Amino acid sequence: MVLSTKLLLLITGLAPPALGALFNGPSQFSKRSYDYVIVGGGTAGNVVASRLTEDPRISVLVLEAGISHENVTDSEIPLFCASLTPNTRYDWNYTTVAQPQYNNRTIPYARGRMLGGSSSVNYNVFMRGSSGDWNRYADVTSDAGWNWANMQKYILRNEQITPPADGHNTSGQYIPSHHGTSGNLRISLPGYPTPLDSRVLATLEEQKNEFPFNPDMGGGDVLGIGWMPSSIGHGQRSSSATAFLEPALRRRNLDVVINAHVTRLLRTGTVRGRPSFHCLEFTERPGARVQSVCATKEIVLSAGSVSTPILLQRSGYGDRNQLRAAGIQTIVHNPSVGRNLSDHPLLTNAFTVKGNGSFDELFRDQTLMDAALGQWNANRTGPLVSGVASQLGWLRLPNNASIFKDFEDPASGPRSAHWEIILNNFWAVPGIPRPDTGNFVTITTALISPTSRGYLTISSADPFAAPIIDPNFLSSRFDFFVLIEAVKAVKRFASGKAWADYIDGPYGDFARTNTDEEIEAYVRANAASIYHPVGTASMSPRGASWGVVDPDLKVKGVEGLRIVDGSVLPYVTNAPTQGPIYLVGERGADLIKADQ
Ligand SMILES: Cc1cc2nc3c(=O)[nH]c(=O)nc-3n(C[C@H](O)[C@H](O)[C@H](O)COP(=O)(O)OP(=O)(O)OC[C@H]3O[C@@H](n4cnc5c(N)ncnc54)[C@H](O)[C@@H]3O)c2cc1C
Ligand SMILES: *[C@@H]1O[C@H](CO)[C@@H](O)[C@H](O)[C@H]1NC(C)=O
Ligand SMILES: *[C@@H]1O[C@H](CO)[C@@H](O)[C@H](O)[C@H]1NC(C)=O
Ligand SMILES: *[C@@H]1O[C@H](CO)[C@@H](O)[C@H](O)[C@H]1NC(C)=O
Ligand SMILES: *[C@@H]1O[C@H](CO)[C@@H](O)[C@H](O)[C@H]1NC(C)=O
Ligand SMILES: *[C@@H]1O[C@H](CO)[C@@H](O)[C@H](O)[C@H]1NC(C)=O
Ligand SMILES: *[C@@H]1O[C@H](CO)[C@@H](O)[C@H](O)[C@H]1NC(C)=O
Ligand SMILES: *[C@@H]1O[C@H](CO)[C@@H](O)[C@H](O)[C@H]1NC(C)=O
Ligand SMILES: *[C@@H]1O[C@H](CO)[C@@H](O)[C@H](O)[C@H]1NC(C)=O
C-alpha cells in the first residue's frame, strides 16, 4: 500500500520533492541527476535499489519501461501465473526466429514488463542452483567470491521462509538450515494438497534407485525429487517489487519512474583513457518527448538477458559488424555482446487421469472458480494459492550412457543435473489450449545442461524494434539425447504402482512415442522454452579476450557502467533462474558498495 499512498500524494500534488516517489511516467518527472541510475525495475534491479538506498546519503533512480505491479490480481494469485504471458500487457511479446531443430517453429520468448520484471510474471518456482553451478562461476571468472560457500550469506540475506498457506506441518519437507528466515523474499512450500502428492512420494519409495527423494534442494545438492519451494508468502506472490521495492520506497532517497523506456546510454567523455557513459535517454513511447538523466557514480543495467545486451548495442557497444548493419556507430567493439545465450528447452508430457481432482475443472467451471476466488479473497487459502507444481526434481543420465563416448559431461558437477522433472496437477502444455473435457497430469521436463548456445541482436537502430532472438535450441546431439532419455524416464516414473488407479494414458502426440525416432519427432514438434535465458553479457576474468563484464560486474573497456541481472551468468543454472538472479542482485549491490 506504500505505492498507493505515494500515488495519491502525487496526484494531489502534495509530494515534496525530497521524498522518495513513484512517478507514473516521464512527463511527471524532471530531476536530472542521481548517484546511481538503475535501468529496469526487475528481479535484480530492485534488489540493487533496495540495498543501495539502505545508506540515506546515496540517491537512486529506477527507470522501468513497464507498468506498476500494484493491483494486478493475476500476478498476485499464484495459480494464475500462466495467464500473465505470453503476449499480454505484462510482456515484451518477443518471439524467437525459426528454430531449425524445432521444425522451424518460432516460439514466444516471454519477459516481464512491469515493476518486478519477470519476478512478477514467472511461475514462482524458487531455487538457487547447485553448488557446482556457483563453483563453476568462480572458476570461469577467476573470482572465488562467486563460489557456493561465499554465496551463502546472500542466500540468508535474501530469503524469508514462511509457513505454507494451509499451515500444514512441513516437517520432513525441507531442511530449515538451508533457508533464510529474515530476508526480504517470502518463500513457502505448497499450500494446498493435490492428488499427486501421495502418488509421487510412493513412486520415490518404489523406484528409489532412479528417482530418489531429496529432502531439500536448497543445500547445493539438487539431485532427486522433492517438495517444491515457491516465491509465495501468505498465499500470494512475493516478487522483487513487493519484497524489495515497496519497502525501499519508504525511503527519501529512492525515486522510481514507470512507463519509462530507456532508449540509449550516452557517452559523456573519456575517463582513464576509456569512453565513459554516465547519462542516458528515456521516453514513454515512440514519438514522445525524449528526456535524459545522469548518474554521478554509476549506471546499473538491470534490464535482463534480452534488453541489457540490446541496450548496449544501441549505445555503440557491441560487435561492430552487427552495429554497422543496424546503422549504429561503434564506440567499443566487443563481439561477446548478445552471444552465448544459454537457456532451458522445455518439453511437457500430458497424461489423462481419472477423477476430478486436477485443477482443470477449476479453470473450466466458473462456479468453482468463483468459490475459489472468494476463498482466496477472504483469507488467501484454497486451490488458488497453488504454484505450478508441488514436487519437482533434478536428474542425471546414467554414467554409462552411450552419449558420453562422444561428449564430455557438460553438467556443472557430479551432483548437478542433466534434466528436470516437474509434476503439474493440470494441463500445462504451452501453446495448445486445454481440451474441453478431461483431467490431466502434465509431467514437464526441461534440459538443464544444454551444450547449445544462441544469440540475440538488434535488428535496427529503432529503439522500439523487436530484437532478433535465436536461442538455437537443441543444435547439438547431446541436447537431443538428454530430452529423449527424459521422455523414457517420465514413462518409467508414470508406470509406478501408485499411478495405476489414476493415469489413463499419454495424451496427444505424446501417445505416439514408442521408438527413439518417434520421441525425437515428438521433441521437434513440441519442445519450447522455459524462459531462462542467461549469458548474453557474460562475466569473464579481468583481461579475458571474451566476455562483457569483469567479475565485479563492471562493463569491460568503459567507465560508469555495471550490469546486474541474468545476462552476466555464463551458464544456465540447476534451478529456474530467478533465485540465482536474486543472488546476483545481492552480490552485485555489495560489489557496488565496496567501490563507494
Ligand atoms: C513466463 C516466465 C516464467 C518463469 N518461471 C520461472 C520460475 O518459475 N522460477 C524461476 O526461478 N524463474 C522463472 N522464470 C525466469 C526468471 O523469472 C527470470 O530469469 C528472472 O526473473 C530475470 O531477472 P532479471 O533481473 O535478469 O530480469 P527481469 O526480471 O526480466 O527484469 C528486467 C526489467 O527491465 C525492464 N526493462 C527492460 N528493458 C528496459 C528498458 N529499455 N528501459 C526500462 N526498463 C527496461 C523490464 O521491463 C523488466 O522489468 C520465468 C520467466 C518467465 C518469463
Ligand atoms: C490499488 O488499489 C487501491 C485500493 O483500491 C487504490 O487505493 C490504489 O490507488 C490502486 N493502485 C493503483 C496503482 O491502481
Ligand atoms: C504485447 O501485446 C499485448 C496484447 O496484444 C499488448 O497489449 C501490449 O501492449 C504488448 N506489449 C508491448 C511491449 O508491445
Ligand atoms: C527449415 O528452414 C530451412 C531454411 O528455409 C530449410 O532449409 C529446412 O529444410 C527447414 N526445415 C524443416 C524441418 O522444415
Ligand atoms: C510435525 O511433525 C513432526 C514429525 O512428524 C513432529 O515431530 C512435530 O511435533 C510436528 N509439529 C507440530 C507443530 O505438530
Ligand atoms: C562463449 O563462452 C565461452 C566460454 O564458455 C568463451 O570461450 C567464448 O569466447 C564465448 N564466446 C563469445 C563470442 O563471447
Ligand atoms: C468431484 O466428484 C465428486 C464425486 O463425484 C463430487 O462430489 C465433487 O463435487 C466433484 N468435484 C469437482 C471439483 O468437480
Ligand atoms: C478461509 O475462508 C474459507 C471460506 O472462504 C473457510 O472455509 C476457511 O475455513 C478459512 N480458512 C482459514 C484458515 O481461516
Ligand atoms: C548401464 O549399466 C546398467 C547397469 O549398471 C545396464 O543395465 C545398462 O544396460 C548399461 N547401459 C549401457 C548403455 O551400457
pLDDT in tens, 31-47: 999 999 999 999 999 99
Query: Which pLDDT value is given to residue 120?
Result: 98
**Encoded amino acid at 269, one letter:** G
- The finding on whether 118 has its CB within 6 A of some atom of ligand 1 is yes
**Which residue do the cell numbers 557456493 mark?**
148
How many whole angstroms from 539 Cα to the centroid of ligand 6? 10
The pLDDT of 472-476, averaged and rounded, is: 98
**Which residue do the cell numbers 540475506 mark?**
157
Query: Which pLDDT value is given to residue 300?
Result: 99
The residue whose C-alpha atom lies closest to atom 9 belonging to ligand 9 is 400
Q: For residues 299 and 243, what is the distance between their CA atoms, to the nearest angstrom?
A: 23
Choosing from 72, 88, 258 the residue with most ligand 3 atoms within 8 A of its CB, the one to mutate for a pocket test is 88
Residue 424, pLDDT above cutoff 80:
yes
Q: Which atom of ligand 7 is nearest to the CA of 357?
A: 13
Write out pLDDT tens, residues 530-565. 999 999 999 999 999 999 999 999 999 999 999 999
Q: For residues 392 and 226, what is the distance between their CA atoms, to the nearest angstrom?
A: 6
Q: What are the contacts of 541-546 at 24+ separation with CB within 8 A?
A: 541/140, 541/141, 541/142, 541/143, 542/142, 546/336
- The finding on whether 375 has its CB within 6 A of some atom of ligand 8 is yes
Helix (H, G, I), strand (E, B) or coil at 377: helix
- The finding on whether 368 has its CB within 6 A of some atom of ligand 7 is yes
The pLDDT of 151-165, averaged and rounded, is: 98
Query: Which pLDDT value is given to residue 107?
Result: 97
Take residue 550 and report the three cell numbers written for it. Answer: 569483469
Q: Report the b/e string of 292-315 with b at 16+ CB within 10 A.
A: ebbbebbbbbbbbbbbbbbbbbbb
Mean pLDDT across the chain:
96
The pLDDT of 143-160, averaged and rounded, is: 98
Which residues, other chains included, contact 446 with Cβ-Cβ below 8 Å and sequence gap of 6+? 344, 345, 346, 347, 419, 420, 422, 530
Share of the chain above pLDDT 70, in %: 97
The residue whose C-alpha atom lies closest to atom 14 belonging to ligand 9 is 400
- The finding on whether 106 has its CB within 6 A of some atom of ligand 4 is no
How many whole angstroms from 356 Cα to the centroid of ligand 7? 6
The pLDDT of 51-70, averaged and rounded, is: 98
Q: Which residues line ligand 6 (CB under 6 A)?
A: 335-336, 339-340, 546, 570
The pLDDT of 377-383, averaged and rounded, is: 98
Take residue 178 and report the three cell numbers written for it. Answer: 538451508
How many whole angstroms from 489 Cα to the centroid of ligand 9? 14
Closest C-alpha to 315, from 285, 291, 337, 283: 337
Helix (H) or strand (E) holding 2: helix 2-11
The pLDDT of 283-301, averaged and rounded, is: 98
Query: Which pLDDT value is given to residue 498?
Result: 98
- The finding on whether 531 has its CB within 6 A of some atom of ligand 1 is yes
Q: How many CB atoms lie within 10 A of CB 354?
A: 12
Strands (DSSP E) along 149-193, which ranges?
159-161, 185-187
- CA dihedral 200→201→206→207, nearest 10 degrees, is 60
Q: For residues 37 and 555, what is the distance between their CA atoms, to the nearest angstrom?
A: 15
pLDDT band at 20 (very low <50, low <70, confident <90, very high): confident
Share of the chain above pLDDT 90, in %: 96
Query: Which pLDDT value is given to residue 19?
Result: 58
**Encoded amino acid at 31, one letter:** K
- The finding on whether 594 has its CB within 6 A of some atom of ligand 8 is no
Q: For residues 503 and 505, what is the distance between their CA atoms, to the nearest angstrom?
A: 6
Q: What phi and psi values does residue 449 have, to the nearest 5 degrees?
A: -120, 60
- The finding on whether 88 has its CB within 6 A of some atom of ligand 3 is yes
Q: Which atom of ligand 1 is nearest to the CA of 567?
A: 26
How many whole angstroms from 527 Cα to the centroid of ligand 9? 27
Q: For residues 86 and 394, what is the distance between their CA atoms, to the nearest angstrom?
A: 26
Query: Which pLDDT value is given to residue 411?
Result: 98
Expressed in percent and rounded to 5, the helix, strand and coil fractions of the chain are 30, 25, 45
Query: Which pLDDT value is given to residue 180?
Result: 98
Closest C-alpha to 101, from 503, 595, 525: 525
Q: For residues 582 and 594, what is the distance between their CA atoms, to the nearest angstrom?
A: 19
The residue whose C-alpha atom lies closest to atom 6 belonging to ligand 9 is 400
pLDDT band at 397 (very low <50, low <70, confident <90, very high): very high
The pLDDT of 297-304, averaged and rounded, is: 98
pLDDT band at 4 (very low <50, low <70, confident <90, very high): low
Residue 15, pLDDT above cutoff 80:
no
Take residue 84 and report the three cell numbers written for it. Answer: 500473465
pLDDT band at 16 (very low <50, low <70, confident <90, very high): very low
The pLDDT of 224-248, averaged and rounded, is: 98
pTM (2 d.p.):
0.96
Contact 226, 217 (CB under 8 A): yes
- β-sheet bridge partners, residue 529: 345
pLDDT band at 352 (very low <50, low <70, confident <90, very high): very high
Helix (H, G, I), strand (E, B) or coil at 159: strand
Query: Which pLDDT value is given to residue 9?
Result: 45
Backbone conformation region of residue 422, classed left if phi is above 0, alpha if psi is from -120 to 50, else beta = beta
- CA dihedral 371→434→532→489, nearest 10 degrees, is 110
Q: Which atom of ligand 4 is nearest to the CA of 103?
A: 13
> CA 278 → CA 172, 261, 269, distances in Å?
51, 17, 9
82: exposed, middle or buried (Cβ count in 10 Å: 0-12, 13-18, 19+): middle
Which residues, other chains included, contact 167 with Cβ-Cβ below 8 Å and sequence gap of 6+? none
pLDDT band at 2 (very low <50, low <70, confident <90, very high): very low
Query: Which pLDDT value is given to residue 444?
Result: 98
Q: Which atom of ligand 8 is nearest to the CA of 374?
A: 5
3-state secondary structure 523-588: HHHHCEECCCCECCCCECCCCCCCCCECCCCEECCCECEEECCHHHCCCCCCCCCHHHHHHHHHHH
